[in-house]
Structure 1
Amino acid sequence: MRIRSALTSVVLTATLGLVAAPAAHPATGPVGAAATTCDSGGSITMGKYWLNNNLWGAGTGSGTQCVSDSYQSGNTIGWSTNWNWTGQQNSVKSYVSSVLGWHWGWKTSGTGLPVQLSANRNVNTGWTFQPNASGTYNVAYDLWLHTIPNPDWSNNPTDEVMIWLYRAGGAGPLGNKVATVSLAGATWDLYQGNIGWEVYSFVRTSNTTSANFNIRDFLNHLRSNRGLSSSKYLTSVQAGTEVFTGGGRLATASYYTNVG
């Protein structure tokens, strides 16, 4: 087990949890066969991505969550997750996501990662989703950075960058607000905190359910304005929902991330 990402807060109350590592025998199946897993740490491989049923904070409450694939077309995928959680309102129960690249180890090939920030490579992404839920949750990207290009299960990140597209029920990020910035055609409040590594959270000032942008723009902002070193490597791009409490569903109609 590893200290988990995306330490998040409700009404500015920070939480801490553990990573649910991928299951030793993950649930897999051909896309189109509607593979589903409800196991903590269960996974479904979708080409260069894999769906991670990461129920890292389940111990702060009770409930269930499942993830299912929908389709894969080239580098574009669709998937969904359903949940029902009770318990501490200010504690994240899960971050069920699509993973590209590292997550305390490597699972798939052809990801285009890692990539050193100094290379200034495009990391283009698009995500269209529909939340149908009550309670407290967010929908966000979670990016991981290391000082080395080949981290394994024993190498914690040095930096974590979240990009919040949608939030409900009072969900708020870790740390303190340090700036308001304009990036990718929108306005974002930037928060910064530390949990043994630096955590930066770009929180969109208005919710959206569809986004297309270059992740490089967010990383370059941190390089220019917050001292993020250009020598570091982007090792992982994850996209999913952090759930605190409540029930519902997040359906991803279309998602891709391409490193070019």
Structure 2
Amino acid sequence: MAGDNVMSEVDGVKVHSNNVDVTSWRPLSLTFVEYPKGDLVGYVLAWYSLLPIFILVGFGTLIVFRRDLHTMFYLCGILLNEVSNWILKHSIQELRPHQRGCLTTEFGMPSSHAQFMWFFSTYLSFCLFIRFHHNNTWLDNAWKYATCTGSILITACVCYSRVYLQYHTYSQVCWGAVIGVILGSIWFLIVNVVITPVFPALASCGLGELLLIRDTSLIPNILWFEYTSARTEARSRQRKLVSRKTQ
């Protein structure tokens, strides 16, 4: 215990010291990413490894300010995906290729980063091409393809970063990607076939109204709807304000 006399051995020599704190400390590996010193590519890829955290923060922000049910269940799917990854890792118990001080007790099969990002990209792609079907113009299709392609490229960078930084093998990353795609597809099917029909009841219940929960699943273009609604309301209020001033 801290505060007791401790006999320690340094370079083969026993050292007697008083009031030495021998508590074992471990860093939280969620944000602990190492890269080779002086390696610019490793530095950039280390930041890519933090993208899942940034995505989770983005989801939290969206839910707080938009209160949309589909966004909430998108996040629920991501969290369930992480739970499944934890179960798989501790069932398979395959070690990482390069053990670091804070990761000696963690397993690497399948890669949680790869599974997370491919779940996210798969679900997003289905949303873009199945749920968002308000128009079929070349401009509408162009931004869908651009968003989907960008998401896949970023996901590939995150996966490569885990191999480059020696946190996972190619096999661990590939299996994480396969599982992420499968679970993302299954969860999209569950949400759109089973859960979405219940959205109106969830939004209109007492708790839903109290928390200002919204169901936008029947609105084909939510951005255009919100833009036109806000513009119409602003013009209506402006006319009322002018009318009051002229009276």
TM-score, normalised via structure 2 length: 0.25
Q: Please say which structure displays the higher CA radius of gyration.
A: 2
Higher strand share: 1
Higher helix share: 2
TM-score, normalised via structure 1 length: 0.24
The structure whose RCO (Cα within 8 Å, separation 6+) is larger is 1
